[in-house]
Structure 1
Amino acid sequence: MDLGVTAIDTSSSYLGFRSHQILARTAGDLLPRFTVSTKVGYFPGRDGVEHSLDPVRLHAAMERVAEDLGREPDLVFLHNPEHSLREAAPHNRDVLVQACTALDDAAVKGLCAAWGVASWDPSTLLNLIDTTAPRPSALMVRAGLLVGARTLDAADALIKEWDLGDGMVWGMSPFGGSAGAPVWARIDPRVFLRDSSRLSRVQAAFRAAYHFPRVDSVAVGTDEPAHLGELVDALAGEVEERTIEEYRRLLRDRSRDQPA
């Protein structure tokens, strides 16, 4: 809150399926001052973690979220539905519709204010969209300079298909796993900014992530408050739109040149 961050994103599966309890205990009476989003879709299994789109399990998970948080979340994402959809073919469209209906029903019953889809590989969802099914009000996808053209184009297509407006497209993993990865010492993302002297390479990479694809919010870790503060400061940077578009074009050209 001191940094101006007023939104918290988590998942039912984080911290050994204890994230909601730990968040409620840690935040205490400050929690109502944040908007809280979370995700359902992963469950404890015999081998550790298993994924399921079973409507009954999803509904029960959303009831548990509200119970553990001590409040209804503002937004619940269907977590990586593609994990189970690959195994559900040729009935994967029906499975996705049933899962979306379960989250929509839960929202109608007041278990959350809204629901959405969080997908690591959104390209798997494109051919499964059913216009008669409930439409999510938010989408979370990978964002940043390391995201490939296929994922970027799929995200753009889903945003258009679901008619998602301002504030309803989220990004995740803006550094492709770690801001300390060697790639960030080899390239200089400040070429995407109008004033490249104000921000560090990491800050520039984060600022540019809001345009690959175009997202309104980016979820990042909170393990290091100093790093989080740097990322918040990076939002003051202005991107160079022409460079953004040129990079997207280069990504598409490279994708077309690669063998299938």
Structure 2
Amino acid sequence: MGRAEGRTAGDLLPKFRISTKVGYFPGRDGVEHSLDPARLHAAVEQAVKDLRREPDLVFLHNPEHSLRAAPHGRDVLAQACSTLHDAAGKGLCGTWGVASWGPSALQNLIDPTGPRPSVLMVRAGLLVGIGTLDATDALIKAWDLGDDAVWGMSPFGGSASAPVWARIDPRVFLRDTSRLSRVQAAFLAAHHLPRVASVAVGTDDPAHLGELIEALTGEVEERAIREYRRRLRDHCAISAPEAPR
């Protein structure tokens, strides 16, 4: 959320819990990612000005983009986390978190003695690979996060109307396979791949949003989820090329 939302929502913003992201900045070629502490702190301050209030939650957005080329990635990530932790301590935001599209790049860079995010947001759902699921579990363990501190995003891999959802029937993951639609079943399953407390979705289609909210009354068959993850891992092992000798 930013300047446009602050102008549009106006006096309604105090009625909502607001989250935003920092880490992307205007660059010569459009946008660039940076974990520079001064830029991150300035971005949080700018978010307060744009929203005309302190955001409840500020995410460090896709830090893996900067860390891939960083020679001291562990230190860089720790400094970025400390910057947001300090911003929260100064009252510039309620709390802070990490949103990562590729958590595999982060799992060996966590400093367990440093500041710990309040929320970790990652991709969730049936289209997420086992590598990402395992990396998410590793981050949850490294940061010692509870179930309510993990959020999911992109449960449909970009679109609920993509052809893949006509080819598969996610209702096999439900205890009652007759009551919910395929889209609802996919959304419900996303809460368990990985296990997350909330899943972020678009709000531009009220009917679609209502359908997803209704899906939360369903129940997932945990045994089917465990079997699915096992098969993902087996498939990954079969598909992986043999290591050179």
> Scaled by the length of structure 1, what TM-score is found?
0.90
Match of 2:60 in 1: 78
- Of 20-29 and 226-235, deviating more is 20-29
What amino acid does structure 2 have at the position aligned with 1:121? G
Which of residues 74, 87, 91 in structure 2 aligns to 1:110? 91
What amino acid does structure 2 have at the position aligned with 1:123? S
Q: Paired residues, what number?
A: 241
Identity of counterpart residues, as a percentage? 76
1 CA distance for matches of 2:179 and 2:113? 48
Which consecutive residues of structure 1, in runs of 5 or more, have no partner in the other structure? Answer: 1-9, 11-19
SS at 1:178's partner residue? Answer: coil
After superposition, where does 1:17-166 map in structure 2 within 5 Å?
20-88=2-70, 90-166=71-147
2 CA distance for matches of 1:202 and 1:135? 34
- Of 92-101 and 184-193, deviating more is 92-101
What amino acid does structure 2 have at the position aligned with 1:25? R
- Aligned-residue offset at 1:223: 1.6
1 CA distance for matches of 2:109 and 2:94? 25
1 CA distance for matches of 2:181 and 2:90? 46
Match of 1:6 in 2: none
SS at 2:32's partner residue? Answer: strand
1 CA distance for matches of 2:14 and 2:144? 29
- Aligned-residue offset at 1:47: 0.8
SS at 1:141's partner residue? Answer: strand
- Aligned-residue offset at 1:160: 1.4
* Runs of 4 or more above 6 Å deviation: none
User: Is structure 2 residue 233 aligned with structure 1 residue 249?
Assistant: no
2 CA distance for matches of 1:142 and 1:160? 17
Match of 1:183 in 2: 164
- Aligned-residue offset at 1:131: 2.1
After superposition, where does 1:8-19 map in structure 2 within 5 Å?
10=1
Deviations 1:143-195 (A, max 9, x none): 00000000001101111111112421000000011111100000000111111
- Aligned-residue offset at 1:140: 0.3
- Aligned-residue offset at 1:100: 0.8
SS at 1:97's partner residue? Answer: helix
Which consecutive residues of structure 2, in runs of 5 or more, have no partner in the other structure? Answer: none
User: Is structure 2 residue 177 aligned with structure 1 residue 196?
Assistant: yes
SS at 1:214's partner residue? Answer: coil
> Scaled by the length of structure 2, what TM-score is found?
0.96
- Aligned-residue offset at 1:137: 1.3
1 CA distance for matches of 2:202 and 2:54? 22
2 CA distance for matches of 1:47 and 1:84? 16
Match of 1:15 in 2: none
* Residue pair 2:154, 2:201 contacting (<8 A) in 1 also: yes
SS at 1:127's partner residue? Answer: coil
* Residue pair 2:147, 2:195 contacting (<8 A) in 1 also: no
2 CA distance for matches of 1:196 and 1:34? 34
2 CA distance for matches of 1:117 and 1:259? 29
